[in-house]
Amino acid sequence: MLHTPLIDAHRKAGAKLVDFAGWEMPLHYGSQIEEHHAVRRGAGMFDTSHMLAIDVEGPGARAFLSRALANDVRRLAQPGRALYSCMLNERGGILDDLIVYFLREGLFRVVVNAATAAKDLTWLGALAAGAAQLRPRRELAMIAVQGPQARARTWSALPALRPASEGLAPFCGAQAGETFVARTGYTGEDGFELLMPAILATAVWQRLAQAGVRPCGLGARDTLRLEAGMNLYGQDMDESVTPLECGLEWTVELASARDFVGKAALAAQTPSRTRLGLVLEERAGVLRAHQPVHGAHGAGEVTSGTFSPTLQASIALARLPLDYAPGERVEVELRGKRAAARVVQPPFVRHGKVLV
Amino acid sequence: MNVPENLKYTASHEWVRAEADGSLSIGITDHAQDALGELVYVELPEVGRKLGGDEACAVVESVKAASDVYAPLAGEVVAANKALAEAPGQVNKDPYGAWLFRVKPSDPAALTGLLDAAAYRKSFK
């Protein structure tokens, strides 16, 4: 089993550890529901060191990424700017979703999912074919500090980060000494993602904990991202789905003359399904992946579901025929019964507020 | 993991307590609640329902998974702990206090056939 630099800190904190894509990671530290609320109401932190940062270097880096990614890195004009993008195969299927940071001309940093990291490196390496250098930064640890109090508590724990990170707009990052600080995350709350040399990670984690930032596991991370309406790779999307079918149209730039891998397939596609949210309207159980959905416009399925601690109801992301619209009613099959659900447009929750 | 000596158990992680009125209270064990994680939904049998032994008759769902609860003995449901519908997390906080339902067994002597604490402890170790 693979371990992040924070494994001892997790064990000492009494984490329940689980196998996540070969990594032994905290599922929770006692209560994933309380951890969820801590992020919505105060501040929580996640060890995301299992994800991989890959530096893309060289004079050809921008041109290479503009071909490799479905979103347009030309949008990254100022150093520090970040962009969310899918990486597609030639059929338009999603190989991974990632965040790319523009550090300076000739240097970008791509952060990819843990389960797909090896596949991504191989793919990018073959695609680059020497036009840019790829440097996996396995020696970097990553901690996401999230919640309405996240930035204030980060500065109180780590005052040295404040000057470089105080003026950061959302989706921007800056280097502060040895730590790269980005105002990004995967929870629908404000906060930072910190990338630092592995050797610093435990001290940073402990100082954040002392400043009142609650350690949170993958359980809370999943309920938070689902409430925030964010797809999880491998569940809400994979190589069999294009961005046009899973709510990520906004990340694909088809209008310009720029060519990218998968563009021709997307341009030729007339999507017949879309991604929408569901809220279970009766107390009948919990929505979960692969449950069939039935309604006036045909059948679909839940791609990920959970019990939302904020809404106190079960919610889900679902792949449905294109004709469905928010406000309609559907029925979900769960444990042999059918239960009524309301179709909504995700996100369910942003910045602590219920939106559906 | 807490396994009280004064209760009976099943290999499917239910506990059974004999009440003074001859009914049996049934819940899920500390081990079961820990493995499931925090419960967010509980479905209980209707009072009056006749249960066969080992019949699936209740459901507990956690943030992680759904799990059936089985009748340890045949009998009739005489009570269901409706308060759990609003507070399923009570099962995590107090697994041996938060009973799910009570059964009047058709054969009270069958209780002796269930696992005792020592045998239950062995079943999941």
What CATH number is given to the structural domain containing A327? 2.40.30.110
Is A245 in contact with A273 (CB distance < 8 Å)? yes
Under an 8 A CB cutoff, do B41 and A219 touch?
A: no
Same domain, A101 and A224: yes
Under an 8 A CB cutoff, do B38 and A32 touch?
A: yes
B71 is a domain residue? yes
Same domain, A86 and A199: yes
- A26 CB within 8 Å of a chain B CB: no
Taking residues B80-106, what's their average pLDDT? 97
Alpha-carbon distances, residue B71 vs A55, A203, A344, B114 (angstroms): 58, 51, 39, 12
In terms of CA atoms, which chain B residue is nearest residue A315? Answer: B63
Nearest to residue B61, comparing CAs of A307, A348, A339?
Answer: A307
Find which of B59, B64, B67, B82 to mutate to test the A interface (most A CBs within 10 Å of its CB). Answer: B64
Q: According to the model, what pLDDT value does residue A235 have?
A: 97
Find which of B31, B34, B40, B57 to mutate to test the A interface (most A CBs within 10 Å of its CB). Answer: B40
Q: Give the model confidence (pLDDT) of A110-122 as tens digits.
A: 999 999 999 999 9
Same domain, A264 and A277: no
- A286 CB within 8 Å of a chain B CB: yes
Same domain, A117 and A212: yes
Residue that is last in its domain, among A218, A234, A268:
A268
Q: Report the share of chain A in percent with pLDDT over 90.
A: 99
> What CATH number did the domain enclosing A87 receive?
3.30.1360.120
List the end-to-end C-alpha distance of chain A, in Å, as a whole number: 40
pLDDT at B124 over 90: no
In terms of CA atoms, which chain A residue is nearest residue B35? Answer: A16
Tell me how far apart the alpha carbons of residues B36 and A204 are, in angstroms, rounded to a whole number: 32
Maximum Cα–Cα distance for chain A, whole Å?
A: 58
Tell me how far apart the alpha carbons of residues B113 and B125 are, in angstroms, rounded to a whole number: 21
Same domain, A254 and A279: no
Q: According to the model, what pLDDT value does residue B125 have?
A: 73
Tell me how far apart the alpha carbons of residues B11 and A288 are, in angstroms, rounded to a whole number: 27
Q: Give the model confidence (pLDDT) of A174-184 as tens digits.
A: 999 999 999 99
Under an 8 A CB cutoff, do A335 and B66 touch?
A: yes
Q: Give the model confidence (pLDDT) of A271-311 as tens digits.
A: 999 999 999 999 899 999 999 999 999 999 999 999 999 99
Please tell me the pTM assigned to this model.
0.95
Same domain, A58 and A144: yes
Q: Report the share of chain B in percent with pLDDT over 90.
A: 94
> What CATH number did the domain enclosing B47 receive?
2.40.50.100
Q: Give the model confidence (pLDDT) of A140-167 as tens digits.
A: 999 999 999 999 999 999 999 999 999 9
B113 is a domain residue? no
Contacts of B66 in chain A (CB under 8 A): 285-286, 288, 335
Tell me how far apart the alpha carbons of residues A194 and A181 are, in angstroms, rounded to a whole number: 5
Taking residues B6-15, what's their average pLDDT? 97
Taking residues B8-29, what's their average pLDDT? 97
Four-CA torsion B71, B77, B79, B85, nearest 10 degrees: 50
Distance from CA of A48 to the nearest CA of B (A): 20
What is the domain range of residue B99?
Answer: 8-105
Under an 8 A CB cutoff, do B37 and A32 touch?
A: yes
- A289 CB within 8 Å of a chain B CB: no
Same domain, A142 and A36: yes
Same domain, A200 and A294: no
Number of domains observed in the structure of chain B:
1
Same domain, A225 and A280: no
Tell me how far apart the alpha carbons of residues A241 and A248 are, in angstroms, rounded to a whole number: 11
Interface residue ranges in chain B relative to chain A, Cβ cutoff 8 Å: 37-38, 40-41, 43, 59, 61, 63-64, 66, 85, 89
Q: According to the model, what pLDDT value does residue A233 have?
A: 98
What is the domain range of residue A199?
Answer: 1-268
B47 is a domain residue? yes
Under an 8 A CB cutoff, do B41 and A27 touch?
A: no
Contacts of B43 in chain A (CB under 8 A): 285
Q: Give the model confidence (pLDDT) of A17-64 as tens digits.
A: 999 999 999 999 999 999 999 999 999 999 999 999 999 999 999 999
Q: According to the model, what pLDDT value does residue A101 have?
A: 98
B72 is a domain residue? yes
Residue that is last in its domain, among A211, A236, A268:
A268
Q: According to the model, what pLDDT value does residue B1 have?
A: 86
Number of domains observed in the structure of chain A:
2
Is A164 in contact with A179 (CB distance < 8 Å)? no
- A203 CB within 8 Å of a chain B CB: no
Tell me how far apart the alpha carbons of residues A110 and A99 are, in angstroms, rounded to a whole number: 6
Same domain, A280 and A233: no
> Coil, strand or helix: which one is A354?
strand
Please tell me which of the candidates A27, A31, A286 has its beta carbon nearest to residue B40: A286
In terms of CA atoms, which chain A residue is nearest residue B40? Answer: A307
B50 is a domain residue? yes
Query: Average pLDDT of chain B?
Result: 96
- A28 CB within 8 Å of a chain B CB: yes
ipTM of the complex as predicted: 0.89
Residue that is last in its domain, among A268, A290, A324:
A268
pLDDT at A201 over 80: yes
Same domain, A111 and A2: yes
Tell me how far apart the alpha carbons of residues A16 and A24 are, in angstroms, rounded to a whole number: 10
Same domain, A242 and A285: no
Under an 8 A CB cutoff, do A33 and B85 touch?
A: no
Q: Give the type of residue at B121.
A: R
Q: Give the type of residue at B96.
A: Y
Q: Give the model confidence (pLDDT) of A205-263 as tens digits.
A: 999 999 999 999 999 999 999 999 999 999 999 999 999 999 999 999 899 999 999 99
Taking residues B58-68, what's their average pLDDT? 94
Q: According to the model, what pLDDT value does residue A164 have?
A: 97
Tell me how far apart the alpha carbons of residues B100 and A213 are, in angstroms, rounded to a whole number: 36
Q: Give the model confidence (pLDDT) of A78-131 as tens digits.
A: 999 999 999 999 999 999 999 999 999 999 999 999 999 999 999 999 999 999
